[in-house]
Each structure stands twice: as structure tokens, then as C-alpha cells.
Homo-oligomer: A and B are copies of this chain.
Amino acid sequence: MNWNFSDFVEIQDVCPRDGLQMETNIISTDKKVELINALSNTGISAIQVTSTVHPKAVPQLSDAEEVMEKINRKPGVSYSVLVPNERGAERAIPMKADEWELMLSVTESHSLSNANKTVDEGIKEHERVARLAKKNGDIKIRGAMATAFGCPFEGKVPFENILYVAQAYYSMGIRSMAVADTIGTADPKLVYTVMEKLKNHFPDVAFSLHLHNTRGLAIANILAGIDAGVRSFDAALGGIGGCPFAPGATGNVATEDVVHMLDLMGINNGIHLRDLLETANELKQTVDHDLDSAVYRAGPSHSRLSTLK
């Protein structure tokens, strides 16, 4: 591994969407807006704000319009909305998000369970979504691939599955893709191998990694991603999120844990850890339970390493 690279690493905080959607208590719109505004002021470059998923499927995000309208959009920060289908796309158009995130499962059974569609039906629908984005001001799109590192129904996932969906996104003109470890079964070698292959197949695509820390491997998987040349990662403040398919499992990798590691390694990421930890403190009050973040619990290394300085 090249331990001395000087590239910028970009983090998208997905806490307001992927984190909050798992919370059983409904969080008020104002609290969501506060959280997103506070995140905007940490120096972060991208936030996944909400989703236009059907309100019956995810009641927590039913206030998507209101949240998008009320937040202060800070210049330089990209505000993304997860758009699950054509109907969601039509709902998303007036929101004027900086980016739409599409999501396709790379396995048939997860696609059927999650979206009630086959992979090919999902692709067909997303082609229509991509056309809607194009027609409405050429909204940027990121194509996410769920269950890329393991499927709760099919087990190990052949690389061909990932390639198939990536090729479909590519054909829609999408040049930004996220590879997701939906149930937290990836390991560093698998991450490295998959990302290296994808980068070789699509040298003009910017790849992100979306990793869950279910088995404690997310930070090591990020390191493997960096080694494979990935420079963009999803993370969620406080490590909240969880996974409906893995009882007792932890959620997204915590943004503050990722930033903390990058800071220690001298990797430029633009985020102020102190602001992030203050925002995590507010998040803890809002969700009213412990956060799954090592650095939030123990404090950053530098607070310990500069005790007498």
C-alpha cells in the first residue's frame, strides 16, 4: 500500500437518510433540518438528505419535501436525494437536489425483496428515471449497487453480477457509482479485488464505497478501498443505521471514525472533527440512544496525545 499519497478523500454523510430511516421513533422535521444544517457546517462536501421512497414503506422519510425546502444549502455542499423509482423521481424533480442516488440490487432475490422487481425490471425503470433527470436540468446521478459484497438470500455474489448492473448504469450515461456492502459481509481483500476490477472495466467512472460496520471491518475496508484507488466514501454520523436483515448488527461506518483515521494519517478530507463530534452529541439527544462510534465514546487520539501540550 502507498502510505504517503496526498489525494483528497471525500465523505458523503448518509445519516439523515440511511441512518434515520432505521430509527423507530419519528424524528421531527425541524430536528432533521438542524442535523443537516449542522453537518453542512462541518466542512463535509456531500450529504444524503432524504429519500422519495413511498411514505408507507419508510414513514420516517415522509417529510422529504419539507426537509429539502427548509435546509440551508451551503455553497460547495452537494445535497443528494435517494430516488427509488420513477414515481419517486417525479416527486424529486421539484426538490432541486444536487444529485439523485439510484439504487439497484445486484442479486435477483434481494431486488425482488427490496424493490419487488427483478434486476432487469429495476434497470428498465432506472433508465426512465435517468431520462427524467436528463430532461429536468440534467440532474447529476450516482448509481448505487446494493448487496455487492454479499446478499442475505443468495450468499456470496459473483463479480459478474456487479459488472452487469455497473454496465447498465454506464449505458444510462452514469459516471458516478457507489458499491454497497449492504449487510456488512465484505472484507478488505474482497473490497480491494472488486474495486480494482471495476476501475479497470470503467476507467472513466468515479467509484464510491458504502460500507456497514456490522462485523467491525468497515474501517479496514475503507483502507483497502483507498489502496484500490477509491477516493469517495459514504459514512453516517454516529454510526447509526443498522440493517433490517442482520439483527443486532451495527449500522453505517461512523463518519467521525473515518475522519479521525484520515486525519491521523494526514489524508486531507476537509472535515472538522470537532464540529462533527459536537453534531454527534446533538444527534445522540435526537435519537435518544447510544451512538455506535468509537471516537465519539473514547475521544479522538489527538485529545489524548496532546494532554500535556
Contact = CB atoms under 8 A, between A and B. Distances in A.
B217 A150 contact: no
Interface residues of A, number: 55
Query: Dominant SS at the A interface?
Result: loop
A261 interface: yes
A289 interface: no
Contacts of A254: 216
Given A215-B294, A219-B220, A189 B301 contact: no
A159 to B, nearest CB: 15
A214 B265 contact: no
Contact of A188 (B154, B184, B215, B223): B223
B260 A215 contact: yes
A82 interface: no
Contact of A309 (B155, B257, B301): B155
A93 interface: no
A44 interface: no
Contacts of A257: 215-216
Interface of A: 1, 3, 150-156, 183-190, 192-193, 213-217, 219-220, 222-224, 227, 246, 248-250, 254, 257, 260-261, 264-266, 293-295, 297-301, 304-309
